[in-house]
Every structure is written in structure tokens, then in C-alpha cells.
Amino acid sequence: MMSETMTMEAAGIATCRLFVGGEWVDAAAERFGEVHNPSTGEVIARAPLCDAEDVDRVVQAAAKAFPEWADTPAVERARVMLRYIELLEKHCDELARILSREHGKTHAEAMASIRRGIEMVEFAAGVPSMLMGECIENIARNVDCETQRHPLGVCVGITPFNFPAMVPMWMYPIAIVCGNTFVLKPSEKVPLSAMRQAELLAEAGLPAGVFSIVHGGRECVDALLAHELVEAISFVGSTAIAKHIYATGTANGKRVQAAGGAKNHIFIMPDADIEQSVSALMGSAFGCAGERCMAGAIALPVGDAGDAVVKTLVDASRKMTVGRTDVEGSVDMGPLITREHLEHVRGCVERGVADGAELALDGRTATVADAPNGFFLGPTVFDRVTPTMTLATDEIFGPVLSVMRIDTLEEGIELTHRSPYGNGAVIYTRSGRAAREFKRRVSAGMVGINVGVPAPMAWFPFTGWCKSFFGDLHIQGREGVHFYTHQKMTMSRWFTPRDGKTDSWGI
């Protein structure tokens, strides 16, 4: 991988390259961002911060490849994905280790995210059945009407640091099987696993130019949003950037789907199994070090469930192991992505204490003996959080769980309606009536009933609400297919000869 996808600098730090027209090439950019190993704090690579010149080179190559790829039969496009699935299965462990090193996920988390990505590729391999149009014969006298779905052209994916393999696979497999070419702009913090995906796609037989990679930050993103040959933008990240992507992209005539941040609510009813509920709550809040938009951020024990929930939660969370993910061994939680983000989350903890919340478990005391410079923070639990505290309103994106005690289910549902976000909401209960009421009335696009992280599987859309999503057609599922295609309607009428004579076929 290193010989093609990277160049080596004198200091021994590898520089990421662009994937353009089926080849790895150096960027023209002269500014670079650092890629860290979060477990140690060491710089392991650098990514070019590309400008409009590099973006134009990549988009032009994708546009050049589009006509031939669009004319390739859909079943042949799907067969590339079938071969790609085989390669992903073969290299799953390798990809997971790249993820753990560049991002800090535990090996189990990395493997799970790749498996969810493979699920998306499996879905994409079946997309040809969703490209079928509709037809009504004789909708008017001698008039037939039909619809067909056509690819858009050059599509762009701008993806976050928290799922470097899975989130891109939410996008490009569907886009490519629909007949588009695709430019991926991975997070400059975690470009390595995306680059390995490009290699495997090429090995699977994807033609040159159909899939490309460009690196960079805001200047690169803005150049993609403005480029006249880009037809559609898919984005996952923070709400502030999602809003910018949507406003700028649509102003430039692009089709845009932009998934933003969240503040997800986890209800625990008095009739719930406390130990099972808390175990799932911990997985939701502290899995992936809390760096995911579907993380459980606010626990809402209802009625007299509060004391039991907090005691069980704190006792179990205190036993979680925090440590390096770039070496052999098993830990429950790895580091945060960068030192800057670690300090941001620490600041959120300090603000929570200043606001008067009860710090039941302080993750700031976590240390890792063999990695003193790693970006570690242990599980952190606040109790007796109130709705106006920043712990209840702001997305933290770290292993910080706020417990907000409430008296009734109704009270909790009302809190979700006051939240600016609307990604996920979960209830733990044995009551079918409570679950039904919750499902109908809670303000969130993805609902879990005794399911801690209700992120949909590939066949269903990722349906964020409110400021968690900007756009009309969501990522994944049939909506994803519709996003990456536009529909053409054709009406046909064949006239009967005026003289009544038949044509050469005797009709």
C-alpha cells in the first residue's frame, strides 16, 4: 500500500496521495494536515489540504469516466460489487487494524463497523431491481406511459472521522451501481482506510475514474460544492457543517443530503430490567468512545427507576477498561480522535460541574501506563442534570452520559420535542402500551424499543429529523437509490395511418 498510496518524506512521515483516473498521484497542495495514532499521540501520516486545482483534476477525471460507466449494464455494475464483497471479507481484519490505528476504535468496534459497511455493499449489489421503472399501457387512447431511473453524473461523498470505513460505504456502493461516478473526500484526520478501499475497488475491476479520492479541509469541501460538474453531495458530520453543506450545495444547484449531529435520549421505565437496560445503555453511550451521532447521550430513568439505574450504571462503568487499540489485547474503550477533541470533551465535563450537575463518575482520571501521550478519557457519568444545562443541550461527542431524572414518560417525550436534534430515541420497557405511545409521539427519526443504538440496517434509510438532517432523501435504503438517480417519464403514441393502409408488418 505504502509504495503507491503514499510518498515518504525525509522525516519518515508518509504523505497521502490522490486517487485520480485509477492512479495514485501527488497533490498540488502545499499545506498538509496531520494523521495521528490516537493511542500514542504520534503522527503516522499527513494528508494534503487540497484546493480548487486538485479538486478540478479529480472531478474532471470522474466526469470523463461517467458516460461509459452510465452505459454499462446495471447488472455488470452490480457484479463489481459482488467481487468487492469477496475482497472486503478477505481483508476485513486488515481494514479493522488500519481503523484501530488511525482512529482508535477497539478491534471489535472496527470489525463491527466494517461488517455494517459490507452489508451496504451487499444491498448495493441488489440495486438493479430498484432501478426498474413503472409502466401503464393505454393510459389514454393509444398512449403508453413509463418511467425510468437514470444516473446523475459525478457524485461526491464528504465523510466524518468517526466511521472512516462504514460511512463512505453508505454512499459510494449505491451511487456507483446506479451508474454514477463518485469522488470521496474522507476526513483528513483518518484517510488511510478509505485509501485501502480504493485499492480493493480497483482490484474488484471497477474501471478507472469511477471512484476517486481527494483530501482536504474546508477549502477542498467548498471547491467540491461549487464545481459545475458535481451533481450531488452526500455528507455526514456535525450540524453546523451539515447546514453549510446543504445551503451552499443547493445554492449551487446540487442535490444534497446532509446528516448532522444529535443529542439522543434513552428512556428507562420502572418496569424495565435494570441490569440489561444499563448494559445496553453503556454500549450506546461509551461504545466508540461516544464518538457517534447515534450515541446515547441522555439517560432518562422514569419515576423510581433513577436510583437503581445510576448505581448500576456507575458500578459497571467503573469496571470498564480503557487502553490502546493499536496493539494486541482487549480493552472496552479506546482513545478519542485528537488531543484537541480530548480537551474539548474535558471542557464539557468541567462546564457540567460548574453548572451544578453531580459528577457520579469522572473519566478524567483515566490513565494508560504504556501510552501517556494518548488521547484517553474514561467513561463519565453525570447525575441530576437539568434541561437547561449544556450537558443536556450540546452535542459532546465523547464518553459522557448525562442522567436526567423524570417523573413520567410524558415529561420525557416533551423534552425530546424541545431538542433541536432528532436522530435517535430509545425506550427500555416491558409495557407494550408505553412502547407504542413512545414510538408514536417521541421526536426522533430513528426509534429503538429495547434496542440501544437504533441505527438502521442497509435496507432502511438513516432518517434523522430536525437539525440532525438537511435534505429530502435520506442516506441508505431505497431513498439512497432515489437520491443517486433522477426519474424520466416517457409518453408514447403511435398513429393509425389516415388512409387505413397497413404498414410493412401487416398491422
For the domain spanning 2-260+468-490, the CATH number is: 3.40.605.10
State whether residue 28 is helix, strand or coil: coil
**Residue whose cell numbers read 483530501:** 215
Domain with CATH 3.40.309.10 in the chain: 264-449
Rg, C-alpha atoms of the chain: 25
| Beta strands at 255-259 and 42-48: parallel, antiparallel or unpaired | unpaired
State whether residue 47 is helix, strand or coil: strand
d(C-alpha 58, C-alpha 223), whole Å: 11
Is 404 in contact with 385 (CB distance < 8 Å)?
yes
d(C-alpha 167, C-alpha 453), whole Å: 16
Is 331 in contact with 368 (CB distance < 8 Å)?
no
d(C-alpha 189, C-alpha 376), whole Å: 17
Domain with CATH 3.40.605.10 in the chain: 2-260+468-490
Determine the pLDDT at residue 205.
98
pLDDT tens digit at each of 507 positions of the chain: 445 788 766 467 889 999 999 999 999 999 999 999 999 999 999 999 999 999 999 999 999 999 999 999 999 999 999 999 999 999 999 999 999 999 999 999 999 999 999 999 999 999 999 999 999 999 999 999 999 999 999 999 999 999 999 999 999 999 999 999 999 999 999 999 999 999 999 999 999 999 999 999 999 999 999 999 999 999 999 999 999 999 999 999 999 999 999 999 999 999 999 999 999 999 999 999 999 999 999 999 999 999 999 999 999 999 999 999 999 989 999 999 999 999 999 999 999 999 999 999 999 999 999 999 999 999 999 999 999 999 999 999 999 999 999 999 999 999 999 999 999 999 999 999 999 999 999 999 999 999 999 999 999 999 999 999 999 999 999 999 999 999 999 999 988 777 666 666 656
**SS3 breakdown of the chain: % helix, strand, coil, rounded to 5?**
40, 25, 35
d(C-alpha 296, C-alpha 474), whole Å: 21
CA torsion through residues 461, 466, 469, 471, sign: positive
For the domain spanning 264-449, the CATH number is: 3.40.309.10
Catalytic positions: 293
Distance from chain centroid for Cα 502: 60
pTM to 2 decimals?
A: 0.95
Distance from chain centroid for Cα 15: 25
Is 133 in contact with 145 (CB distance < 8 Å)?
no
Determine the pLDDT at residue 127.
97
Residue 119: which residues within 8 A CB-CB, separation 6 or more? 457, 458
